[in-house]
Amino acid sequence: MSGTAAARFPDIRSALDPLVRLSARLGHDPLLVQASSGNTSIKLDGVLWIKASGKWMADADRQEMFVPVPLAEARERLARHTDLAADSTRAADHATRPAAQTMSASIETFMHAVVPHRVVVHVHSVNAIAWAVRQDAEAELAERLSGLRWQWIPYVPSGRPLASEMEKVASRRADTDVFVLGNHGLVICGPDCNAVEVLLGEVERRLAIVPRRAPVARKALLEQLACISPWRIPQTDALHALGTDATSRRILRGGVLYPCQAIFLGHPAPMIPCSIPVSDVRDGIGGQYAHRPFLIVEGSGVMLSQKITRAEIAVLSGLVEVVQRIGPSAPVRHLTHNEVAGVVSGDGVRYRTSAENNESANGASRECFQSSRWNGEELSR
């Protein structure tokens, strides 16, 4: 940190430390955060310190990733419908680190700014999303979150639209500290990091769903395909559920469930029947799906592109966890055509590029589900 920053924020490292440690813990839980998704913030002396766009929370305790944004200015810009901060965040940012390391504040900065609570955590909880993609989400959640100060927000795009909706909803009940975002995720707020983590644990406990067990993959057929194509077999058996589980395939055929799915994995879901001749598969793989990170072989399993990135694997793993938690008779609400088009243009593309440029320095492959505090095994007890 530069001398200027030290003068401006003399105790900032110790003040941010609980948020840094909480962010790292959340980032290591693939059932809550995938790749660079999710964001955390704390308000300190009129400054909103928020996770930088594209950074992986799992790296919070080994990389600088919190950007200071003047809180009043962020709120004012939202009210005036002007964009945040290329100038303001950079100005603040330059005060804390060399220009070569400048970072942009999260796309959800406005949302964090309008919530009155000191600490705000936004996660892509697979349990919350499995409820939040249902047409009857609000009623189902009301049963499970009864007694908590929570509110439901139907899908709105990230950034300014979500922040405006959040502001409207929060103004109706200022003590709301749990927001479930339709087709998106979860926001938990509180006076300090400990309170937020405890509340998040309680919400997760109430929303926990035991994932369906999928039939085992047909590895012999997949190995045949791997021999004649650029596709490879995943190291993690869990990914095959998208191909072997009929309910999962039907849900994916219906469209996109949430923005990260469209941004990182594309749409529609790439599927080939397992019954077509191998020679046809080879031709199909060479053309239609060559640019996709994964391929579903119906009834058999999933293949991965040799070029798949860590971010894509993390998001794909999260998708498996979500889809396996949606029951066969659940009334699913997919994103509309216009909503998907909005997601994959502009900010969505920048978000994806940023996530891949910042791929986690974590040595462990994101293909593996490990060290999860709220893992399926635990939930099934």
Binding site for Zn ion (CB under 5 A): 185
Map tokens 């400048």 to a residue.
Answer: 102
- Which residue minimizes CB distance to Zn ion? 185
Q: Give the CA count within 13 Å in the CB-facing half-sphere of 54.
A: 16
Residue 161: CB minimum distance to Zn ion, A: 13
Q: Considering the complex, what minimum distance in angstroms separates the CB of residue 125 from Zn ion? A: 10
Shortest distance, CB of residue 341 to Zn ion, whole angstroms?
A: 18
Strand ranges inside 176-293, DSSP E: 178-181, 185-190, 271-272
Q: How far is the CB of 37 from Zn ion (least distance, A)?
A: 6
Q: Which is nearer to Zn ion, 185 or 255 (CB)?
A: 185
Cβ proximity to Zn ion: between 185 and 301 the closer is 185
CA distances from 310 to 98, 124, 146, 370, 373 (A): 28, 17, 38, 15, 21
Nearer to Zn ion, 185 or 318 (CB): 185
**Which residue's CB is nearer to Zn ion, number 153 or number 209?**
153
Shortest distance (Å) from residue 193 CB to Zn ion: 19
Nearer to Zn ion, 61 or 347 (CB): 347
Distance CA 369, CA 140 (A): 28
Query: What's the min distance (Å) between Cβ of 108 and Zn ion?
Result: 6
Tokens of 306: 């040799």
Nearer to Zn ion, 96 or 176 (CB): 176
CB atoms within 10 A of CB 171: 11
DSSP letter, residue 49:
E
Q: In what order do the strands lie in the sheet with 271-272?
A: 271-272, 294-297, 301-304
Contact (Cβ atoms closer than 8 angstroms) between residue 54 and residue 36: yes
